[in-house]
Amino acid sequence: MLASAWYIAAAVEDLAAHEPMGVEIGGRKLVLFRTPEGAVACLADQCCHRGVPLSMGVVKEDGIACAAHGWRFDSGGRCTHIPSLMPAETIPPNAAVTSYVVAERQGYYWVWMGDGEAAGVPDALSVPELTANGFCSLKIRIGLDCNYVDAIENLIDVTHVPYVHVFPHLPEDERILLPRMVEVTAEEWGVSLLGGIPRDGSLSTGSTHTAVGNPEIRIRFVGPNMVRLEFLKAGPGEAIAMIEYFIPVSEWKTIFEVILVFRARNPDNMPKAIRINHLRQDDRFHTTGRLGDEDAAIMLAQARTLRANPNFRGVCVAGDAMIIAYRKFKTRARRQSFKTSQGETRRRCLRTLCNCAADTDTWPPNG
C-alpha cells in the first residue's frame, strides 16, 4: 500500500450523525465521527489509556468518549477530559491519539494516510459524470478476501476475459485469442490501455497484437488505487464507464467501491451485456452479477494459493503489458517518495506520481 495517498474511508450516507464508525485501511484501524459543527474527524481507533477501540464509544459535544473509562478526545486527537483524575492532577501531555486529515468529495469521505502535510485529493481520482447533467450512476460496495494489488491487476488484465468470462458471440476456438490490446501508455497520474475485444471472428488462432483504429475500451489506472474502465461505443441508456476504488483493508481483505455511470436518467436502464441484477435496500444499491461472481471465484482461489506460497513470483509476457506498467508505477512511487520528511510530503508526492507515469514504458514499442 502506498502510504502518502488518499483512500476512501466511507460513503457520506453511511456515517450517522451521532455515532462513531470504525473502519480499517491498510491494517490501520480508524474511527470516524461527526463534530457538532458537521465536520468529520478521523482518529486512530484505540484509546491511549487501555487500548479500547474508540469506535465503541459515544460522540459528545466536544469529541468522542471512550466506552471503557470515559476518556474524551477532540477532533485533533488530544485528550480533553479524564473522569478519574484526582483534584490536583492534570491531563498527561502524552494523552493523545493519532489524527488523520479527512476530505469530503463526491459522496465519500477520504482519509490521507501519509505523514506530514496532506496534499489535496487529486482531480484525477474524481468521477466528473457524478456532477454532470445527463448521467446517472449506481454505487456498489463489495468486500472480498484477497489482496488489493491482485484485485487491481485482475481488472486491468484484458487477457483473462475470453477465459474467465463467457462471450456467446465468440466461437469456441477463438476464445483463446488475446483481446486486441494496442497501446499501454503513461498518463499524468498512472497508465492507460486502449483496445477492443474480437467480436466478428475475424482473427485467427495464433494472431499477434494488431493495431486497432477503432478501439472499444479504455482502461485507466490512477494511483494509488483507482481503475476506470470506459466503454467507448456505449449508446444511450448504456453504461459508459465502471470506476472501481480498491481499498486495502488489510493484506488479504479488499473493499471495492464501484461506480457504474450511465447515459440515462433511470438506473433501471442497465445494459444487457453486463447482466447485473440489482435491488434497492436502505436507499443504496447492492449488486451481484455474473461477471463479478466469475472474477471473485478466480481471485479467491488465487488468494488461497498466494497465502500458502508467499514467495511465489509469476512470469509475465507481452500480453501483460498493462500489469507490467502498473507494477513499474507502483514500485517507483514507493521508492521515490512515499517516505518523505514532513515538509516535503505534498510536493514530492505530487511529483512522484507524475514522474512514475512519465517513466512507464509504452507498449507496443515503435517499429
Q: CATH number, domain at 62?
A: 2.102.10.10
- pLDDT for 296 beyond 90: no
Domain residue limits at 153: 127-358
Does residue 279 lie in a domain region? yes
Predicted confidence (pLDDT) at residue 28 exceeds the cutoff of 50: yes
**170: in domain:** yes
* Residue 367: inside a domain: no
Least confidently predicted of 90-104, 219-233, 267-281: 267-281
Does 202 lie in the same domain as 131? yes
Question: Which of the two residues, 275 and 93, has the higher pLDDT score?
Answer: 93
In a domain, 1, yes or no: no
Residue 239: give its domain's CATH number: 3.90.380.10
In this prediction, residues 324-338 reach a mean pLDDT of: 77
Let me know whether 213 and 338 are in one domain.
Answer: yes
66-83 per-position pLDDT tens digit: 999 999 999 999 999 999
Residue after which a domain boundary falls, among 86, 112, 138 = 112
Same domain? For 195 and 269 the reply is yes
Average pLDDT over residues 102-126: 87
State the total domains in the chain.
2
Cell of 249: 483493508
If asked whether residues 135 and 94 sit together in one domain, one would say no
What is the average per-residue pLDDT within 98-103? 95
- Which is higher by pLDDT, 21 or 120? 21
Do residues 251 and 103 both lie within one domain? no
Q: Which of 48, 83, 112 is the last residue of a domain?
A: 112
Same domain, 59 and 152: no
Top-confidence range, 106-115, 184-193, 290-299, 330-339 = 106-115
